[in-house]
Amino acid sequence: MKPFIVLAFALVLSVTIPIAVFGTSISNVPELSQRELVVRPGGTHSFVLAVGGAEKIDVAVLVPPELAGTVTLYDPAPRQGPRTIRLEFDFDNGKVPPGAYSLQLAANEIPSSTAQVATSVSVSVGFVIRSYSEDPYLEIISSVTPPVQQGSAGTFQVDVISRTLVDIPFAQAKVDVIDEAGSVLVSGTGRSGVIKSGERVAIIGDVDTRSLLGGIYKVNTTVTYSGKSATYEKTVLRVGNLTIDLGEYTKTFLFNQTNKFQFQLISNWNKPLTRVGTTVRLLGQQKRSAQQTIEPFSPAEMAEVYFDRSEQPPGTIAGSMEVTYQELAPSILEQDDVTTHTFTIPFTVDIVLPPEELVAKQPFSFKPVHLLIGAGILLLIINVIVVVLLLRKKEPKQEQTTQKPKDSNPDPNAQKEPPAQK
């Protein structure tokens, strides 16, 4: 069967800007004055629009992949002044599946070279193409299973929309709650009345979740109608129990230092937990964190606490966290009954040496890099010695002998030494 097409104008925008700048605009001619157009299946369908407000305008159409090959833009004078253009839709090929599709027709002003202000104006018109089948066709928009507390029954709501020309007598929705292995744990059903063409309805039903333990479960939804079916697998069911888990927290402390302890608490309950407070016991110390509210199935960053210096040697040590919280429930007196719960969460922390002490305590170990460094130093020393020897070789030799000076004025009274006796 050929699809049924509804063409709707989503937006018509006109912009004008003074100061030597033109305002580009797109408008529909009189035959397109209505907001929605009904197009019968088969053949091609043309629609005329006018663009103006500038001396030169560039027009383009942006088509989604689903409509590729079905939309053609006819522009009699590309990149010229005000004119009428034509959009042609060819739905005779039967390739457009039922559904809603969006496309944009954009008009961009081409600035003049003599304009005082170099500004370009762009406007666009949005279209919604609705493809309706002549056969019964339902699309599941959403499926919701609200969180429940452990031991309670739940409900669900499935929203569907008709993408067909004919009325559908009724539709039945079924939700299956499944475990990690894919086995169905519990199911629930709901039924609608007559669904008219283009109508959106909500199918509401019950699901018995009283046997489910606390946790998060996957939900598969199936809607059957007129011998056909549609499926939806994007839903989860959260079954709450009154427990709180420890999320991310500081797992490493520095030895003999003041350490900051940060942590998250995660609520597994389907209602807000108020006045959640913690007492953290570690290193023989006890620190309290400020109270706050934790939303259902959500983590909360608790107020950080600080632990004083400790002589506890490096290693893994055990700690505990006492969590106290309150659950509020309406009372007969139209006031809030407060139920206080307290339980303990164990955890561990590793105490390590600070980086500077860790380096100081590490024994020396010979590595290849040390050999390279030693060889480099030795090579440098040898080069220095060679240079010094070469410099000494180039210095001129000086005479070391000294001559005795001659006596030009001998003393006549001086006595001569007697000659040596033979």
Give the residue extent of every domain in the chain.
4-132, 138-240, 244-357
Q: Are 7 and 129 in contact (CB under 8 A)?
A: yes
- 67: DSSP letter: G
CB 288 within 8 A of CB 279: yes
* Measured distance CA(344)–CA(326) in Å, rounded: 15
The CATH fold assigned to 138-240 is Immunoglobulin-like (2.60.40)
Positions of the chain with pLDDT lower than 70, given as ranges: 1-43, 92-95, 113-120, 327-338, 357-367, 394-422
> Two tokens at 246?
């420890």
* Residue 107: predicted pLDDT: 85
CATH code of 244-357, in short, is 2.60.40.10
Cβ neighbours of 297 (radius 10 Å): 16
CB 2 within 8 A of CB 134: yes
CA atoms within 13 A on the CB side of 46: 7
For the entire predicted model, the pTM comes to: 0.59
The tokens for 418 are: 């007697």
Closest to 321 (Cα-Cα) out of 342, 335, 303, 339? 342
**What pLDDT was estimated at residue 102?**
78
Q: Are strands 36-39 and 71-74 parallel, antiparallel or unpaired?
A: unpaired
Quick one: tokens of 135? 């056969």
User: In terms of residues, how long is the chain?
Assistant: 422
Say whether 244-357 and 4-132 share the same fold.
yes
Assign a CATH topology to domain 4-132. Answer: Immunoglobulin-like (2.60.40)
For 275, residues 6+ apart whose C-beta sits below 8 A from its C-beta are 291, 292, 293, 324, 325, 326
